Amino acid sequence: MKKLYRFTALILTAVILLLAGLPMLTAYGTEAKPQKKLVVGMSADFPPYEFHKVINGKDTIVGFDVEIAKEIAKDLGAEMVPEDMSFDSLLPALQSGRVDLVLSGMTPTDERRKSIDFSDVYYRSKQVIMVRPEDKDKYPTMAALKGEKLGAQKGSIQEEIAQKVPNASVTSLDKISDLVLQLRTNRINAVVIEDTVAKGYTLDGTVTLAKAVPEDEGAETAVGIRKGNTELLASVNKTLARLKADGSIEKFSTEASALSADRQISSNSIVDIFWKYRSLYATGIGYTLLLSALGVLFGFVIGLIISLLRMSGIRIIEWLGTTYVEVLRGTPMLVQLMIIHYGVALTLGVNFTPLQSGIITLSLNSSAYLAEIFRAGIQAVDRGQMEAARSLGMGRGKAMRHVILPQAFKSILPAIGNEFITIIKESSIISTIGMVDIMYQAQVIKNITYEGLSPFLIAAAIYFVMTFSLSKLLGLWERKLRASDHR
């Protein structure tokens, strides 16, 4: 038992050290010297507006929206910080104050104007239909798309266009690259997309443009700004007017298109892809392990407290503990993540970083399951153990701590290990809010290489190695704890 205590103390010490370094991790490499920052929300799979590219061995978000954002930040005397997230998360992020601007090829529709303000229009484009090469002449008009399987980016103007096609089955996804993959694998037959963006995806000849063109007028693009922020709106409009007057926006667009065209289609093996982007995967592994370890640790503590509350014998406290468990087990983790990351910011004005939101979500979700595991383990200990401890003069709390919990812990260790393994895999959900875990990095590599399968096979292999190794370590620990049972 002394070894168990030493091991627990070692774990707690490691966690304290991790927490001490947490501010540095959440800073994402920012400079030590304080500087005004302009956080810009983007969905970086939208070439040439914004997309990922490896420059000097480092993953970088580039594109002409990025250059415009830099000019806006320069005029404000600030540092531009891009915040990559799914397109349909941009408006909640802006409304909650998580980002200062949205620059992501966004069209200022009347519906969106109800939620946020928009700058003057800085770019105009038109909508097109992207199809497989063999279907290039299959859709001469929009009428020919009637009843077809169409794809569009979730929350975009293109989604609205697709939904207007009679009897069409519309698949809406967060990432353009995912839509292209759906098209190439025959899951959908056409994608409604902006012509400027389509150029980057038609380079390799695996997809092309149909003759059909949506009847809607060309799309306008503007900068999204939080409602009522008139000072920032005026500054943005002033910068945009300067960039349009001196031709900078057209220059940025041309340069970004050339940069996008320079992205080579990957023909490397899965091993080559892993080795080339190993630094990205290493970063993802680090954050995944940090999320999972802290999620389980805090979930362990909270779950133990909740389990004891449920067995307190006080009806109101038992009811509160039961409600906590049932609510968290009965709702999806993704919903819990959205509430913590966006809902808390909108209602209470508290903005958690993606790392903090991920740790809180995983901790709360894990605690609900661990609470039931603890309760089952404690109830499985023979009642006579408590009675014997009390007869020796121990109080209920001391008996629970020194007699009941150590025995319960031995019996529930496999279940706790399974929960840890589950959390490692479920932590991939946190990538939806821009947390740079393994799945986020796999998405980035997919967008860089145009490989739809290899980056995710590598991610799956990494998850397997992590969970398999953990299960073996837990098995070893379990055997050591049970060694005394056979003496």
Specify the CATH number for the domain of residue 95: 3.40.190.10
SS3 labels along the chain = CHHHHHHHHHHHHHHHHHHHCHHHHHCCCCCCCCCCEEEEEECCEECCCEEEEEECCEEEEECHHHHHHHHHHHHHCCEEEEEECCHHHHHHHHHCCCCCEECCCCCCCHHHHCCCEECCCCEEECEEEEECHHHCCCCCCHHHHCCCEEEEECCCHHHHHHHCCCCCEEEEECCHHHHHHHHHCCCCCEEEEEHHHHHHHCCCCCCEECCCCCCCCCEEECCEECCCCHHHHHHHHHHHHHHHHCCHHHHHHHHHHHHHHCCCCCCCCHHHHHHHCHHHHHHHHHHHHHHHHHHHHHHHHHHHHHHHHHCCCCHHHHHHHHHHHHHHHCCCHHHHHHHHHHHHHHHHCCCCCHHHHHHHHHHHHHHHHHHHHHHHHHHHCCHHHHHHHHHCCCCHHHHHHHHHHHHHHHHHHHHHHHHHHHHHHHHHHHHHHCCCCHHHHHHHHHHHHCCCCHHHHHHHHHHHHHHHHHHHHHHHHHHHHHHHHHC
* Residue 332 sits in the same domain as residue 298: yes
Give the pLDDT mean for 191-210. Answer: 84
Residue 399, in any domain of the structure: yes
Lowest mean pLDDT among 184-193, 367-376, 399-408: 399-408
* Residue 284 sits in the same domain as residue 195: no
pLDDT digit string, tens, across residues 382-397:
777 777 877 777 877 7
Give pLDDT, residue 208.
Answer: 92
Contact in structure between 350 and 373 (CB atoms under 8 Å): no
* Residue 368 sits in the same domain as residue 466: yes
* Residue 287 sits in the same domain as residue 238: no
Give pLDDT, residue 216.
Answer: 66
Of 151, 185, 217, the one marking the end of a domain is: 217
Contact in structure between 345 and 392 (CB atoms under 8 Å): no
* Residue 311 sits in the same domain as residue 361: yes
* Residue 39 sits in the same domain as residue 186: no
* Residue 288 sits in the same domain as residue 354: yes
pLDDT digit string, tens, across residues 255-302:
887 777 665 555 568 888 888 888 889 999 999 999 998 998 899 899
* Residue 297 sits in the same domain as residue 402: yes
Report whether pLDDT(343) > 80: yes
Give the pLDDT mean for 174-181. Answer: 84
Higher-confidence residue of 207 and 400: namely 207
Residue 29, in any domain of the structure: no
Residue 451, in any domain of the structure: yes
Report whether pLDDT(9) > 60: no
Residue 306, in any domain of the structure: yes
* Residue 343 sits in the same domain as residue 362: yes
Beta bridge partners of 45: 51
Give pLDDT, residue 126.
Answer: 87
Residue 58, in any domain of the structure: yes
Averaged pLDDT score across all residues of the chain: 84
* Residue 417 sits in the same domain as residue 470: yes
Number of structural domains the chain divides into: 3
Domain that holds residue 60: 35-121+221-265
Residue 87, in any domain of the structure: yes
Report whether pLDDT(180) > 70: yes
* Residue 181 sits in the same domain as residue 243: no
Contact in structure between 237 and 119 (CB atoms under 8 Å): yes
Q: In this structure, what are the phi and psi dihedrals at residue 393, rounded to the nearest 5 degrees?
A: 95, 5
Residue 456, in any domain of the structure: yes
Per-residue pLDDT band at 147 (split at 50, 70, 90): very high
Report whether pLDDT(34) > 70: no
Give pLDDT, residue 217.
Answer: 58
Give the pLDDT mean for 338-348. Answer: 87
Contact in structure between 102 and 123 (CB atoms under 8 Å): no
Residue 30, in any domain of the structure: no
* Residue 294 sits in the same domain as residue 256: no
Per-residue pLDDT band at 32 (split at 50, 70, 90): very low
Of 217, 239, 256, the one marking the end of a domain is: 217
Give the dihedral of Cα atoms 353, 356, 362, 368; nearest 10 deg.
Answer: -120
